[in-house]
Amino acid sequence: MKILDDRRYSKDHEWVVFSGSTARVGITDYAQDALGDVVFVQLPKVGDKFATGATCCEVESTKSVSDIYAPISGAIARANERLLTQPGLMNSDPYGEGWLFELSIDSSEVNEQLLDFQQYRLLIEG
């Protein structure tokens, strides 16, 4: 399983990359593997606000339908609309082109619930 060291992870298998007051969010390689082939993505709307842990979108695969949770609180600044026509990007490139959305965040908020790559590796291997 690929785990990148340049991002933080939630216990619900989302990753977060911070860039100033924005955070890009996607699902991990572990999550996409568990889901199987992604066939549909329901993205959040720009401007929608979510608290940490709130359900913000949905991913449907050949195996199941899964909720995606906001790993941190914020407002949706951008959604990856390519996933509407190419949901398989979540499988083929979960850490790159398969990202889900970007949140506008209060840059002073750092969620202590997020794991670094070593803690996340322990979570999925333990």
Say which CATH number the domain at 23 has.
Answer: 2.40.50.100
Q: Is residue 80 part of a domain?
A: yes
For residue 61, the one-letter residue type is: S
Instruction: For residues 116 and 102, give the distance between their C-alpha atoms in angstroms, rounded to a whole number.
Output: 19
Please indicate, yes or no, if residue 77 is contained in any of the structural domains: yes
The structure tokens listed for 87 are: 């949901």
Give the tens place of pLDDT for each residue, 23-58: 999 999 999 999 999 999 999 999 999 999 999 999
Which residues form the domain of 35? 8-106
Categorize the per-residue pLDDT at 72 as very low, low, confident or very high, splitting at 50, 70 and 90.
very high
* 112-44-54-52 Cα dihedral, nearest 10 degrees: 20
What's the pTM value of the predicted model, to 2 decimals? Answer: 0.93
What band does 107 get if pLDDT is binned at 50, 70 and 90? low
